[in-house]
A and B are shown apart, each in its own frame.
Chain A
Amino acid sequence: MIQHFPVLAVMLLFLGAFCVEIFGSNNAGIRNTIAMLAATIALVLIYALIKPVMIDGEIISSWMGNWAPVSGYAIGIGYEVDALSLFFALLVVTTFWLSGVYSMSYMAKDHHLGHYYTLYLMLSGSVLGLVMTGDVFNMFVMVEIMTFASVALTAFRNENEGTLEAGFKYLVIGSMGSSFTLTGIALIYGQCHTLNMAQISAQLCTGMTPTTIMAFALIVAGFGVKSYIVPFHTPAADAYMVAPTSVSMIFSGMVNKAGVYGMIRVLYIIFRAMDKSSVQMLVVIFGAVTMFIGVTMALAQHDFKRLLAFHSISQIGYVITAIGLGSALGITGGLFHAMNHTLFKGLLFLTAGAVLYATGTTNLDKLGGLSKKMPKTCICFLIGAFSISGLPPFNGFVSKWLVYQATYTKAVESGNFVYAIVTVVALIVSVMTLASFIKVTQAVFFGQLPAELKKTQEAPASMLVPMYIMSALCVLCGIFYPIVNKYLLHPATEATLNVTNYIDRMMGDGYAAMMGAQNIEVAPVQFSYWNPIVWLILFVVIFIAAFIVITGSKSSRGQILNPGVKYDPKYATFFSGEEELFSQVGGSDLFWGFKTDWKGYYKVLEGLHSGIVTDYAGWTVMATAIITICMFIFMR
């Protein structure tokens, strides 16, 4: 029974998509019920797989229509869920379920919601299918459905500024990526005469031919487009900005994780290219460049969601860097960071959505002082911001710590100075991330409240609940990381490095050994920097400090300021004796000291992000060419 769960979950979501369109296009109640029912059942089905896959270490597989392999040839489409697939599947179902709950009230004011939920379920189903399938062509189909649904959702609020443009750019770059993937798949089929990942992997044990190298490079480039590494990142920034926020959350939580999953699957399992140090270097350099350019662009943004979009790109850079290292530590760190990115970036997008919902704008220059009006959103935002900046004890700290540890270990082991530089870049990027979130904090939640936002209300409960869940997960993953490591990360890391089990499960026992694939023992990653007792005592210290601050002296505060009421000047902000004026410092100007020193760099970068679709297409082609040439040089 349990082997049908993955297929059932995917089918159910697609079925739900059609049912929403047929039955629910006019009736909001039926529509929401169908959508949430499908999402919830998929969630339960995937969570039911945790015990057999993650804890017992099984690999669940099923063949569509029972077309099992005959005499070593896989013909049917197989679904294969190992720990790596399930890890990403869990992220996917959690994200889309929370996003579904959030969109109930967030999207309530929009029209044509039947289409929205259809596309939402299609997107969810395709990403879920992508991470669980064992067939490369099926993977391509899912990627295409994903791109298609993403584009439609990006342009969903098509009366808004820039949505159509963003959708079009996304479509052009995305379908170029898909075409590269498809060409790669065609070439690999020409060489191996199979589409099953396990069988391809087993057959490629004997070595790579120029055809397979070409295929490898093209598929890597294709998934690079889907995970938005620089220079494929440009449509992502636009799409995340203009899409409805519940969709932006899906994009950053699922769609680019699908790209990351594809990268891991291709690099480690299908082609097993990560034992070559030159390939590792290529991936790591792409990752490092991605994180640096992402974060520096984010520092220059004036829009809340566009800033978050560039941070998404930057954080994916961390993930790519970590998985490019090829060590167990690196993979664990990369997977953990991917998971944390889903949590905290989802949370941040949700708070951005709440701000947009409450005030109608995400322009940083027009917002301010919302912490008085939306205190719950503010707390959630701060948790998300501290997590993404990697401050202890939040989850971002643990995963970033693993990434630094992994890069520096790699540097010491290989004696290669480049990896040491990558460590430095990763640390500096972390500080810059903090800086840009300080900017958002100051510009949106603290600072002064503009007169036109005086009537702002807190977001409704159905928007707050997903935020609370995400915040709780951020804190819990940071504190109880050994549990996360034991039950999620370690099995996934093992699955990434142990190809044999994957092949044997699909093709029959002994197939992998026949083809010459070998297993690697993976030691569990040790976390040893933090003594758990410290936590208990920490509360004592906090208590003492709070005691000093609160009881040390009499504290007093004035009335909350109401318009038109005369207030006590004692509690007014100090303006050198002047009356309280609204001379706000705009969020975009917060780092002018930094920007004047980087004038040249920003000039170049803003020239490159020209917004012209053909330029972006040109870089996509160029980067693909670079990857292909490098692969031919390295793998020859």
Chain B
Amino acid sequence: MFNKLINDSASKSPWLYHINSGSCNGCDIELVACLTPRYDAERFGFKLAGTPRHADIVVVSGPVTSQSKERLIRTLAQVPEPKCVVSLGSCPKSGNVFKGSYSVEAPLDDYCHVDVSVAGCTPKPEAIMEGLYKAALILKEKREAMHK
């Protein structure tokens, strides 16, 4: 019963940690817009955490510049299990308009397992919300897989 309670709550309070890997700030602003009264992500329990140790979902925006790559990987490693990685916008998925630049190392999939990708430049807050919600459900699956 105790285990079931924990499994159920796993999807109901996903805390986000946001990493900007060289984004143009458009996606970041849209992510923050999700928390504003109009969209209010907090009603699903989403909350921005200050440190990766508290996070369940890591939201990565930006085309993974070579300066930020190592730091990104290190920070992702510091998130406790179970965790999800969400790539926000087209940049981490494909490199978007920055593709081919000497300083861009997209896609993100090369360095870690991405659970959900929200495409768009920039994605609408509704799309972000849906992506995050899917990630929350994946969290629950991961938790159940950990404790069969």
Contacts and interface: CB of A to CB of B under 8 A. Distances in A.
Q: Do chains A and B touch in the complex (CB under 8 A)?
A: yes
Nearest to A578: B71
Interface string A565-595: 0001110101011110000000000000000
B98 to A, nearest CB: 20
B78 to A, nearest CB: 6
Contacts of B77: 568-570
Chain A interface helix/strand/loop/mixed: loop
Contacts of A578: 71
Given A569-B77, A569-B78, A574 B71 contact: no
A574 B51 contact: yes
A574 B74 CA distance: 9
Nearest to B81: A554
Contacts of A570: 77-78
Contacts of A569: 73-74, 77-78
Contact of A574 (B19, B72, B78): B78
Nearest to B19: A577
Interface residues of A, number: 9
B52 interface: yes
B134 interface: no
B89 to A, nearest CB: 20
B75 interface: yes
Contacts of A579: 74
A576 B51 CA distance: 8
B99 interface: no
Interface string B60-97: 00000000101111110110000000000000000000
A568 B78 CA distance: 9
B39 to A, nearest CB: 27
A579 B71 CA distance: 8
Contacts of B73: 569
Contacts of A574: 51-53, 75, 78
A104 B17 CA distance: 55
A574 B73 CA distance: 12
Nearest to A573: B78
Interface in A535-583: 568-570, 572, 574, 576-579
Contacts of A577: 19, 68, 70-72, 74-75
A16 B68 CA distance: 71
A407 B49 CA distance: 47
Contacts of B70: 577
A508 B7 CA distance: 83
A572 B78 contact: yes
A332 to B, nearest CB: 48
A574 B70 CA distance: 14
A576 B68 CA distance: 11
Contacts of B72: 577
Contacts of B52: 574
A570 B52 CA distance: 10
Contacts of B19: 577
B102 to A, nearest CB: 22
Nearest to B21: A577
Contacts of B78: 569-570, 572, 574
B80 to A, nearest CB: 9
Nearest to A577: B71
Interface in B97-124: none
A578 B75 CA distance: 9
A574 B51 CA distance: 8
A582 B19 CA distance: 23
A574 B68 CA distance: 15
A569 B70 CA distance: 11
Nearest to B79: A570
Contacts of A576: 71, 75
Nearest to B75: A577
A577 B53 CA distance: 12
13 contacts: A568-B77, A569-B73, A569-B74, A572-B78, A574-B51, A574-B53, A574-B78, A576-B71, A576-B75, A577-B19, A577-B68, A577-B72, A579-B74
Interface of A: 568-570, 572, 574, 576-579
Q: Which 8 A-B pairs have the closest CB atoms?
A: A577-B71, A570-B77, A569-B74, A577-B75, A569-B77, A577-B74, A574-B51, A574-B78
